[in-house]
């Protein structure tokens, strides 16, 4: 059985008229939209991760300097410095 057959004029009028360019343009648009969404999600995660990492390094530096300057009251020093810089107390 062959997969190709001749179509008469009467049968051709019943077939839907969807061109290949319409299907191709929708496929391109959907790939672009999905790609843009994936890039936005990855970019957002990278910004969040870098902010979190920077915040962690700053806390470590503050804690180390407080431990060096005031070893007896390092926790109180840390809380005071964080509050003065606009952070939230633990």
pLDDT digits (tens, 9 = 90+) for 12-53: 666 566 666 666 787 888 999 999 999 999 999 999 999 999
Helix crossing, 74-84 with 20-69: angle to 10°? Answer: 130
In a domain, 12, yes or no: no
13 falls within a domain: no
Tell me the longest C-alpha to C-alpha distance in the chain.
Answer: 95
CA 49 to CA 43: how far, in whole Å?
A: 10
The share of the chain scoring above pLDDT 90, in percent, equals 39
* Structural domains in the chain (count): 1
Cα of first residue to Cα of last residue in the chain, in angstroms, is 77
For range 77-83, the mean pLDDT: 88
Domain containing 40: what range? 18-84
Q: For residue 51, is it within any domain?
A: yes
- For residue 58, tell me if it sits in a domain: yes
Is the overall model pTM greater than 0.85, yes or no?
Answer: no
Establish if 89 belongs to a structural domain.
no
Say whether 4 sits in a helix, a strand or coil.
Answer: coil
* Residue 75 located in a structural domain: yes
């Amino acid at each position: 059985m062959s997969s190709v057959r001749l179509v008469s004029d009467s049968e051709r009028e019943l077939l839907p008229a969807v061109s290949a360019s319409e299907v191709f343009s929708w496929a391109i648009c959907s790939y672009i939209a999905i790609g843009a969404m994936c890039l936005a999600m990855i970019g957002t995660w990278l910004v969040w991760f870098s902010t979190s990492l920077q915040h962690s390094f700053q806390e470590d530096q503050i804690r180390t300097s407080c431990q060096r300057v005031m070893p007896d009251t390092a926790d109180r020093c840390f809380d005071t410095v964080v509050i003065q810089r606009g952070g939230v107390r633990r």
